């Protein structure tokens, strides 16, 4: 039953929609936590510590964090695989490329695939930079996320990588939320305007919120 569902085009679209919503939910929660950086190192480092002990005393140290990571990684993989397979099915169904792009196709729609690639590469860089410290520009300090973030955004390339990725993320969220709503049956003539406004609002809020962090470091608000 599950295999039959996955093999169908509708099944892949549903998986893509559900996993997309999971990731949007994560981004909203992640942004709320990241905003603590504007309240100083004590608040932000405290948030980093809480992530490692959340669920205590029921869960052991870092179990809650690893559960969240596993769910997120599974969502990312399923989302990427379903997107790739749907893309291949679309190519097989239309072996000849369109001479002209659809007139009503938005810029976000046309760049969804490249946006996904950019975000995938960014996730790898972000983990190596601020989680493992492998590619970190300064002296990576375990348990001191505030200083690690300041180090990263004190470099021009750290800012460029992050801001470009966040712009791609915004376009991805804007189109992805709308597509997920349609796939999961939430769309209708009466709700379409509200759904579009929600998609646009989420994209703007998340993009501006995340970009405010490197801007804060560059301007000295966060130092």
CATH number at residue 151: 1.20.1300.10
Rounded CA-CA distance 167/214 in Å is 13
Domain count, the chain: 1
* Domain annotation covers residue 223: no
Q: What is the pLDDT of residue 3?
A: 82
Helix axes 41-53, 145-152, angle to 10 degrees: 120
The enclosing H or E element of 145 equals helix 145-152
Q: What is the pLDDT of residue 63?
A: 95
* Domain annotation covers residue 164: yes
pTM of the complete model: 0.88
Cβ contacts of residue 59 below 8 Å, gap of 6+? 67
Cβ contacts of residue 16 below 8 Å, gap of 6+? 78, 79, 82, 83, 86, 179, 180, 183
Question: How far from chain centre, in Å, is Cα 84?
Answer: 17
Give, for all 223 residues of the chain, the pLDDT tens digit: 788 888 888 899 999 999 999 999 999 999 999 999 999 999 999 999 999 999 999 999 999 999 999 999 999 999 999 988 888 887 777 655 555 545 455 455 566 778 888 999 999 999 999 999 999 987 889 889 999 999 999 999 999 999 999 999 999 999 889 888 888 888 777 888 899 999 999 999 999 999 999 999 999 999 8
Helix axes 9-34, 156-183, angle to 10 degrees: 130
* Domain annotation covers residue 53: yes
* Domain annotation covers residue 200: yes
* Domain annotation covers residue 222: no
Residue 134: closest CA among 121, 148, 120, 144: 148
* Domain annotation covers residue 123: yes
Question: How far from chain centre, in Å, is Cα 169?
Answer: 6
* Domain annotation covers residue 17: yes
- Whether 107 contacts 44, CB under 8 Å: no
Rounded CA-CA distance 183/26 in Å is 20
CA dihedral 187, 178, 97, 79 (to 10 degrees): -110
44 lies in which domain range?
10-94+106-216
Residue 80: closest CA among 110, 109, 118: 118
């Amino acid at each position: 039953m599950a295999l039959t569902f996955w093999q169908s085009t509708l099944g892949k679209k549903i998986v893509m929609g559900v996993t997309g919503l999971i990731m949007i939910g994560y981004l909203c929660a992640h942004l709320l936590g990241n905003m603590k950086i504007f309240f100083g190192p004590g608040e932000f480092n405290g948030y980093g510590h809480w992530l490692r002990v959340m669920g205590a005393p029921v869960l052991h140290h870092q179990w809650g964090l690893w559960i969240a990571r596993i769910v997120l990684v599974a969502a990312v993989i399923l989302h990427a695989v379903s997107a790739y397979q749907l893309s291949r099915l679309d190519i097989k169904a239309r072996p000849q490329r369109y001479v002209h792009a659809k007139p009503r196709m938005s810029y976000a729609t046309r760049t969804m695939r490249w946006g996904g690639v950019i975000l995938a590469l960014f996730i790898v860089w972000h983990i190596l930079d601020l989680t493992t410290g492998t590619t970190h520009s300064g002296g990576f300090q375990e348990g001191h996320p505030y200083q690690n973030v300041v180090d990263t955004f004190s470099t021009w390339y750290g800012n460029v990588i992050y801001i470009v990725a966040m712009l791609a993320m915004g376009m991805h969220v804007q189109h992805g939320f709308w597509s997920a709503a349609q796939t999961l049956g939430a769309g209708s003539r009466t709700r379409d305007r509200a759904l579009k406004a929600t998609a646009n609002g989420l994209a703007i809020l998340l993009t501006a919120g995340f970009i405010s962090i490197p801007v804060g470091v560059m301007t000295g608000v966060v130092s």
